[in-house]
Amino acid sequence: MTKYIVEGGRPLFGEVHISGAKNAAVAIIPAALMVSGPCRIENIPQISDVKLLLGILQDLGANVRYVNPHTVEIDSTKLRNGRVPYESARRCRASYYMLGALLGRFGLADVALPGGCDFGGTRPIDQHLKGFRALGAQVDTQGGFVMAEAVGGRLKGTSIFLDKVSVGATINIMLAASMAEGLTVIENVAKEPHIVDVANFLNSMGANIMGAGTDVIKVRGVPQLRGGTYSIIPDQIEAGTYMAAVAACGGEVKICNIIPKHMDCISAKMCEMGVDIQEVDDSLLVSRIGPLIRTNIKALPYPGFPTDMQPQMAAALCLAQGTSIITDSVWSSRFRYTDEFKRMGAQIQVDGNLAIIEGVDRLTGAQLEACDLRAGAAMLIAALAARGISEITNVQYIERGYEDVIGKIRAIGGRIRAVEIPEEEPVISSAG
């Protein structure tokens, strides 16, 4: 077990290089199991979720080889269809993409349901299952496993209208449909950049997917996907997290290797908050010299403000002048992290899916416990901005999605170090 010790209260200066997008990588790796032939994936982030999914592919018989730290070669030609056990599936929600990928390639999938409820509420997959059923699969959930089998051995193209805009359901159905017989039309789909990235990956392997990034995706099934090379897009949320850190701490940081267009919804809010943003090629120069100004944020599906950024923005807004309101319309109870902020001196009231933040002049260092990935990132930002020393435990959540977070924060002048917690020292819990 590791904890982070953060000495806060300093502005940040320098450059940070953004890694490949976690939410694209965790879908593209399962997608690679559908490919017959070697498939080279570049710009893979070095994060624990990626290691876990590559491990699942290896357990199923894929050949996985790192060409360099950010390029992996996967050959699933001889992959066997097998059960994905709870032990692997429970540690990464994206393991549900194994369902669409195995069902698409073999007409049969048997995958443990991902465990936990990261955001303090349920995370249903009914829309994923509705899509598989519409494609002609018989789907059963028993003993914590989803078993899906294509009637007649192969899925059949169809029309599907999602009741709810869902990133996971859009990708899972797209995976399954890419090797189905005939045309599948999926309406009311999610439009996040990583949806487009997964579609581009599949197309570069021989799939025929049109419309990713719009409300309607059309997939003409192909009998086989072949190998190729693909590079994952930069991580919008990692970039936004470092932008929020500059907003909270002040200073000037160049956020390098991004797609500025993907950052528009975040950059616009930052500007309202008094943060200066200049676009230079594939970088953003982010600086904050004056006071932070209050704003309201409504988390919505893309191109709206991403729910995965609301905790990090809340960290900065704790220090803004005036009252800010954050509404999360995607996850209705994603505010567990606010209890930790309150212990640093923040003034926040939560009412259902609303958080009302009265800005304070300063936060003070405290013992903090990360409760999910983005909440952990938000605590890191609060700790960097706070006066004094903070200790953050449960950092395995942060390491699920942020590559070399210690190195990147240090490179921009943040004082942070990782310390191993001896087994006998109890982890300080604030979950109460």
Q: Which residues bind ligand UD1 (CB under 6 A)?
A: 23, 26, 93-94, 123-128, 164, 166-169, 190, 307-308, 330-331
Pairing, β 63-68 against β 12-17:
unpaired
Whether residue 225 contacts residue 33, with contact meaning beta carbons closer than 8 Å, is answered with no
- Active-site pick, 117, 249, 271, 318: 117
DSSP annotation string for 307-337: GGGHHHHHHHHTTSBSEEEEEESSSTT--TT
**107 vs 401 by CB, closer to ligand UD1:** 401
- CB closer to ligand UD1, 232 vs 363: 232
366: helix, strand or coil: coil
Cis preceding linkage at 303, omega within 30: yes
Active site residue 256: no
Burial of 90 (0-12, 13-18, 19+ CB in 10 A): middle
Least distance from ligand UD1 to the Cβ atom of residue 168, Å:
3
Q: What are phi and psi of 44, to 5 degrees?
A: -80, 130
* Nearer Cβ to ligand UD1 (227/306): 306
C-alpha 431: how far from chain center: 24
Instruction: Look up residue 151 and give its two tokens.
Output: 């009637």
CB of 86 to ligand UD1, least distance (A): 18
How far, in Å, are 163, 183, 216, 376 from residue 159 at the CA level? 13, 8, 10, 39
Q: What's the min distance (Å) between Cβ of 151 and ligand UD1?
A: 22
Instruction: Give the span between the Cα atoms of 315 and 341, in whole angstroms.
Output: 8
- Least separation in angstroms between residue 428's CB and ligand UD1 is 27
Determine the Cα–Cα distance for residues 133 and 177; give it in Å rounded to an integer.
12
- Comparing CB distances to ligand UD1, the nearer of 30 and 414 is 30
Q: How far is the CB of 188 from ligand UD1 (least distance, A)?
A: 11
Contact by Cβ (8 Å): 385, 413? no
Q: How far is the CB of 132 from ligand UD1 (least distance, A)?
A: 11
The residue number whose beta carbon is nearest to ligand UD1 equals 168
Burial class (CB in 10 A: 0-12, 13-18, 19+), 383: buried
What is the spatial distance between Cα 96 and Cα 114, in angstroms, rounded to a whole number?
Answer: 7
- The answer to whether 215 and 189 are in contact (CB under 8 A) is yes
Q: How far is the CB of 7 from ligand UD1 (least distance, A)?
A: 30
Which of the residues are catalytic?
A: 117
